[in-house]
Amino acid sequence: MRAYVMLTTKPGTSMEVLKYIKEVGSLEGVVQADSVFGRFDAIVVVEVPSLEKLSEVVYKVIEKVPNVIHTETAIVLTGSKSEK
């Protein structure tokens, strides 16, 4: 299961938040984390085996990272052609 977790951070802290996520690092399930321009400050790509594990990663880890104000999660419904 893949999900995109969009983060809103305190102003000026998105790079700090991503550094923390990458250092805690081999944070189970996190495959990519990028700072972005737009409505959100960062997007984290998470791949986990179950919805329960996704909940753990988002609610127990990512949302507790210092300076994270809000998260919004988009769960991928189907895999891309390259995954089939």
* Domain definitions of the chain by residue range: 2-79
Question: CA dihedral in degrees (45, 34, 36, 60; nearest 10)?
Answer: 60
Q: Which residue has the tokens 């189970």?
A: 28
Q: Which of 44, 40, 47 is nearest to 69 (CA)?
A: 40
1 has pLDDT over 80: yes
pTM of the full structure: 0.86
SS3 content of the chain, % helix, strand, coil (to 5): 30, 35, 35
pLDDT at 84: 47
Q: Which of 79, 72, 16, 22 is nearest to 47 (CA)?
A: 79
Q: What is the pLDDT of residues 3-59, one digit of tens each?
A: 999 999 999 999 999 998 887 655 778 999 999 999 999 999 999 999 999 999 999
CATH code of the region 2-79? 3.30.70.920
